[in-house]
Amino acid sequence: MPTLVSRGSSSAVWPAYAAGSWASLFILHHMYWAFGGTIGLAGRSMTGTLLLVNLLAIPLLLVATGAAFATIQSWGKMLPPQALSVTVWGVSVVSSVRGIGGLVQRFLLSGHSDGHTLLSTIADPWFVLGGILFGLTASAFTWQPSN
């Protein structure tokens, strides 16, 4: 069974704590909206498809939080290492693509307001930050076969 081996010093764990914290904060953000919060939504609450996407994001972010912390906690050794690696890299890629895509779209549509100015200003860089943190988490550790 492969084991998790840290690359370098104990400072290699900070990205995992940061990534897990990022995802945890994002859960709170989505829960606020799920319960009718309107900050960042131009004073409107989420409805329809956007609400459904928001509700699906909560369990996905719970998985992301657990995966980030599993890379540095002893209980993480109970999880299949390949699945954990794919999950952490997957969160990095999805978050990065979403954030960079949003930034490019905003750049291309500069001057056009979508009515969600606070959300638009914060969300894209937030996704990029998550992509970076999860990428650092994934690259800080390697899976090696145990003897």
Calculate the dihedral angle through the C-alpha atoms of 23, 126, 98, 39, rounding to the nearest 10 degrees: 90
Better pLDDT: 123 or 7: 123
Which region holds residue 43: left if phi is over 0, alpha if psi is between -120 and 50, else beta?
Answer: left
- The span from the first CA to the last CA of the chain, in angstroms, equals 9
What is the per-residue pLDDT across 69-123, written as a single tens digit (0 to 9) for each? Answer: 999 998 988 999 899 999 999 999 999 999 999 888 888 877 665 555 556 678 8
pLDDT of residue 115: 54
What is the rounded CA–CA span in Å between residue 13 and residue 85? 15
What is the rounded CA–CA span in Å between residue 81 and residue 83? 5
What is the per-residue pLDDT across 41-80, written as a single tens digit (0 to 9) for each? Answer: 777 888 888 889 999 999 999 999 999 999 999 898 899 9
What is the rounded CA–CA span in Å between residue 111 and residue 12? 42
Q: What is the pTM of this model?
A: 0.84
* Range list of H helices, the chain: 14-34, 48-70, 81-108, 117-139
What is the rounded CA–CA span in Å between residue 107 and residue 101? 10
Residue 72 gets which letter from DSSP? T
- SS3 label, residue 143: strand
Name residues whose C-beta falls within 8 Å of residue 113's C-beta, 6 or more positions apart in sequence: none
pLDDT of residue 118: 59
